[in-house]
């Protein structure tokens, strides 16, 4: 991999450094480049050698199994450091540590920085590091806060601008200089390696460009010393990226998140401006995603949540129900180490502890086997099953494995008995609805870039005319959920005659089926032709009609689908969740599992 000499450009109040990359094996597009922007006041105080670019180049080359040739001079200290750093990363992820070659050593700079920069997101890690560094006489105080923007693709431009302005306000209140940095680095790096592996190198490249201003860079720890998984910023990795001019510190790895919350709880500005939510929908904390709920639990444990104004909009303390709902969303554990930190502080018999334990994928209730579908307009799959089991005499912890579905050997997912009239009333309203269809799905949690759902919306529009389509897009992280809440989504379902969704394979989605019928929609699962035909052969007739291929879609008229809906609802309401689960539970041994 060839890394071209940095170039400088000025536009308005921003100054940018850009570097071009050429892959030896054409694994990256020709003329690929990365640009990093800074405030214009730093003109003449940026390192324009290749030295700062060694971390990004070395990590990208390691992931692509290439070596690095730098067209500009680079500090031999960081070139040597790259071998140690990428060697450690190679041991984690099976890479080959690259050889890094530079044309020459940079000439001595005219200016040597004496500042101390802390990478600052207003999160629990960076806030606690700032407060400890400023309040400990034995530590060197922070002189500059470094905030990097453009690295969260879920944020809109307006949200990013709001977050940036709030961070400037905080820096002003602290009396510390803020250097707001912006970069397009992810457009080049993301196709080749995850952000969890690359982010440390990205941050340090941004910081090392500021060597004429800063001779120390501090990255707040994400993990504890006892629980540090392989990660792009790590207690053993970050200090390796030092240069002859800049020291790199990995800070507060001895403390977990609850202990860091204790530090933050002492500072009113930190409690008011803390920002942990990366769902991207707003510049505030949503109070419902996994990061918000984890952080709120931390502050509850230290008795400070009521004083944490950053979560005022959340409405209530973290509840077991809110955490339990996370467990039924695909890939929402995010990082189990963080949850285990909470469990180390929570009483074992506490309802919140049990909910977080379940969130780890180690439930104390039944093991539920079903498509990993996020609930968007009603209770989650797990809460439906456990609620029905609670009405039986079978202890939930003794049930074992519950295979949910409508095929032979599976347990039907029906409404509880008390919901029967409500479902019938919703179905009766279908005939009065003027909107033909609705397609509403949360983000793709596996980041597979599958455009099938949007293609299905186009097909529905072509077959049936305008409808409602709400897709939250491709997930960038593990804890995606719809921005619009369940109440608004329920209104969408109640406005349309047909609710459709895409499944590439597998069984008829039980949660989508029950959600649709509860809101009076005809459920339609669209699949590839062969898979649809095979699944129909395994389903009862009333439900087989609900599985279509794309070519079959035009065979249904939304204005004349009453008979299909009535038939499906009748089949669904032949029993209840309590009766079905209670009957199946009686067949299971008290401590065994099926399967």
CA angle 536/541/545 to nearest 5° reads 60
Ranked by mean pLDDT, the top range of 23-37, 137-151, 272-286 is 137-151
Q: Which two tokens stand for residue 171?
A: 């820096």
Query: C-alpha 18: how far from its chain's center?
Result: 29
Q: Which tokens in the block code for residue 204?
A: 């340090």
Answer for the pair 210, 178: CB distance below 8 angstroms, yes or no.
no
**pLDDT confidence of 27, banded at 50, 70, 90?**
confident
Q: What is the 3-state secondary structure (H, E, C) of 97-152?
A: CCCEEECCCCCCCCCCCCEEEEECCCCHHHHHHHHHHHHCCCCCCCCEEEEEECCC
Residues near 293 by beta carbon (within 8 Å), at least 6 away in sequence: 287, 318, 322, 323, 326
Return the top range by mean pLDDT from 239-243, 346-350, 351-355.
239-243
User: Reduced to 3 states, what is the DSSP secondary structure of residue 165?
Assistant: helix
pLDDT at 369: 83
Q: What confidence category does residue 365 fall into, taking pLDDT thresholds of 50, 70 and 90?
A: low
The CATH class of the 419-572 domain is alpha beta
Average pLDDT over residues 216-228: 92
Question: 121-142 pLDDT, tens per residue?
Answer: 999 999 999 999 999 888 999 9
Between 17 and 94, the higher pLDDT residue: 17
What pLDDT is recorded for position 441?
Answer: 84
C-beta separation of 54 from 82 below 8 A: yes
Least confident of 133-137, 241-245, 411-415: 411-415
CB-side exposure of 532: number of CA atoms within 13 Å? 18
Say which residues have a Cβ less than 8 Å from residue 504's Cβ, sequence separation at least 6.
450, 452, 527, 528, 531
Query: What's the CA gap between 166 and 189, in Å, rounded?
Result: 28
What pLDDT is stored for residue 324 in this prediction? 79
Q: What is the pLDDT of residue 475?
A: 45
Higher pLDDT, 389 or 89: 89
Q: Indicate the range of 7-11, 48-52, 445-449, 510-514 predicted with least confidence.
A: 445-449
DSSP code string of 199-230? HHHHHHHHHHTTTTTEEEEEEE-SSBTTB--S
Q: In DSSP terms, which residues pair with 47 in a beta bridge?
A: none
With a cut of 60, say whether residue 363 has pLDDT above it. Answer: no
Q: Are 390 and 396 in contact (CB under 8 A)?
A: yes
How many other C-beta atoms lie within 10 A of the C-beta of residue 479?
23
| Mean pLDDT within 107-129 | 89
What number is the average pLDDT over the span 333-341?
Answer: 79
Q: How confident is the model at residue 288, as a pLDDT? A: 82
Q: Which helix (H) or strand (E) holds 491?
A: helix 486-495
Mean pLDDT to the nearest integer, 311-328: 76
Q: What is the pLDDT of residue 479?
A: 40
Instruction: Report domain extents, the chain.
Output: 2-255, 259-364, 419-572
Tell whether the model's pLDDT for residue 593 goes beyond 50. Answer: no
Q: Confirm if 20 and 4 have CB atoms less than 8 A apart.
A: yes
pLDDT band at 583, cuts 50/70/90?
low
Mean pLDDT of 38-55: 96
CB 498 within 8 A of CB 512: no
Q: How far apart are CA 59 and CA 87, in angstroms?
A: 10
User: Rounded mean pLDDT of 138-165?
Assistant: 92
Q: What is the pLDDT of residue 172?
A: 97
Q: Is 523 exposed, middle or buried (0-12, 13-18, 19+ CB in 10 A)?
A: buried
Judge whether residue 428 has pLDDT over 90.
yes
Lowest model confidence (mean pLDDT) among 238-242, 417-421, 496-500, 547-551:
417-421
Q: Which of 275-289, 401-415, 442-456 has the highest mean pLDDT?
A: 401-415
The pLDDT, as a whole number, for residue 390 is 74
HEC-encoded secondary structure of 53-98: HHHHHHHHHHHHCCCEEECCCCCHHHHHHHHHHHHHHHHHHCCCCC
DSSP conformation class of 521: P
* Percent with pLDDT over 90 in the chain: 60
- Burial per residue of 191-210, b for 16 or more beta-carbon CB atoms within 10 angstroms, e otherwise: ebbebebbbbbbbbbbbbbb
**Over the chain, what is the mean pLDDT?**
87
Distances (CA, A) of 163 to 84, 158, 407: 36, 9, 49
Residue 5 pLDDT > 80, yes or no? yes
pLDDT-wise least confident of 341-350, 506-515, 534-543:
341-350
445 pLDDT more than 60 = no
State residue 531's pLDDT score: 94
**Structure token digits, residue 401:** 């494995």
89: pLDDT strictly greater than 90: yes
pLDDT value at position 480?
A: 45
């Amino acid at each position: 991999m060839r890394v071209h000499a940095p170039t400088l450009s000025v536009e308005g109040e921003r100054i940018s450094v850009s570097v071009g990359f050429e892959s030896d094996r054409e694994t990256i597009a020709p003329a690929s480049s990365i640009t990093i922007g800074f405030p214009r006041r730093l003109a003449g105080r940026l390192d324009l050698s290749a030295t700062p670019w060694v971390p990004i180049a070395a990590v990208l080359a390691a992931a692509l199994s290439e070596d690095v040739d730098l067209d500009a001079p680079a500090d031999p200290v960081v070139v040597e450091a790259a071998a140690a750093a990428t060697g450690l990363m190679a041991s984690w992820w099976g890479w080959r540590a690259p050889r890094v070659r530079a044309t020459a050593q940079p000439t001595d700079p005219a200016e040597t920085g004496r500042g101390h920069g802390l990478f600052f997101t207003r999160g629990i890690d960076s806030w606690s590091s700032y407060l400890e560094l400023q309040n400990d006489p034995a530590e060197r105080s922070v002189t500059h806060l470094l905030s990097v923007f453009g690295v969260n693709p879920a944020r809109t431009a307006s949200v990013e601008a709001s977050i940036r302005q709030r961070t400037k306000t905080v820096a002003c209140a602290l009396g510390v200089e803020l250097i707001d940095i912006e970069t397009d680095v992810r457009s080049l790096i993301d196709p080749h390696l995850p952000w969890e592996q690359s982010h440390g190198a990205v941050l340090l490249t941004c910081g090392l460009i500021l060597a004429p201003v800063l001779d120390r860079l501090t990255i707040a720890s994400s993990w504890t010393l006892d629980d540090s998984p392989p990660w792009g910023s790590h207690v053993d990795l970050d200090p390796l990226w030092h240069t002859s001019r800049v020291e790199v510190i990995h800070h507060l790895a001895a403390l977990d998140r609850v202990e860091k919350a204790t530090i933050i709880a002492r500072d009113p500005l930190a409690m008011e401006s803390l920002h942990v939510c990366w769902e991207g929908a707003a510049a505030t904390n949503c109070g419902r995603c996994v990061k918000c709920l984890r952080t709120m639990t931390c502050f509850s444990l230290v008795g400070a949540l009521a004083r944490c104004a950053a979560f005022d909009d959340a409405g209530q303390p973290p509840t077991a129900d809110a955490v339990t709902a996370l467990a039924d969303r695909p890939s929402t554990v995010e990082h189990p180490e963080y949850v285990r930190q909470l469990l180390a502080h929570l009483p074992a018999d506490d309802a919140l502890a049990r909910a977080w334990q379940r969130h780890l994928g180690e439930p104390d209730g039944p093991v539920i086997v079903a498509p990993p579908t996020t609930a968007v307009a009603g209770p989650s799959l797990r809460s439906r099953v456990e609620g029905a089991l609670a009405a039986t005499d079978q202890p939930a912890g003794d049930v074992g494995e519950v295979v949910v579905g409508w095929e032979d050997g599976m347990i039907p997912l029906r409404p509880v008995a008390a919901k029967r009239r409500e479902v019938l009333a919703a179905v009766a309203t279908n005939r009065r609805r003027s909107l033909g269809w609705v397609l509403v799905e949360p983000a793709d949690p596996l980041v597979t870039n599958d455009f099938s759902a949007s293609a299905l919306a186009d097909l529905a529009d072509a077959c049936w005319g305008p409808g409602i389509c709400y897709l939250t897009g491709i997930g960038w992280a593990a804890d995606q959920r719809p921005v619009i809440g369940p109440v608004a989504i329920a209104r969408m379902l109640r406005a349309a005659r047909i609710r459709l969704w895409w499944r590439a394979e597998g069984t008829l989605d039980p949660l989508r089926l029950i959600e649709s019928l509860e809101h009076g929609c005809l459920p339609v699962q669209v699949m590839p032709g062969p898979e649809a035909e095979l699944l129909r052969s395994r389903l009862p007739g009333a439900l087989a009609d609900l599985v279509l291929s794309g070519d079959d879609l035009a065979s249904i008229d939304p204005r004349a689908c009453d008979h299909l809906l009535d038939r499906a609802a009748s089949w669904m309401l032949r029993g209840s969740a309590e009766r079905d689960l209670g009957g199946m539970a009686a067949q299971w041994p008290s401590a065994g599992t099926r399967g």
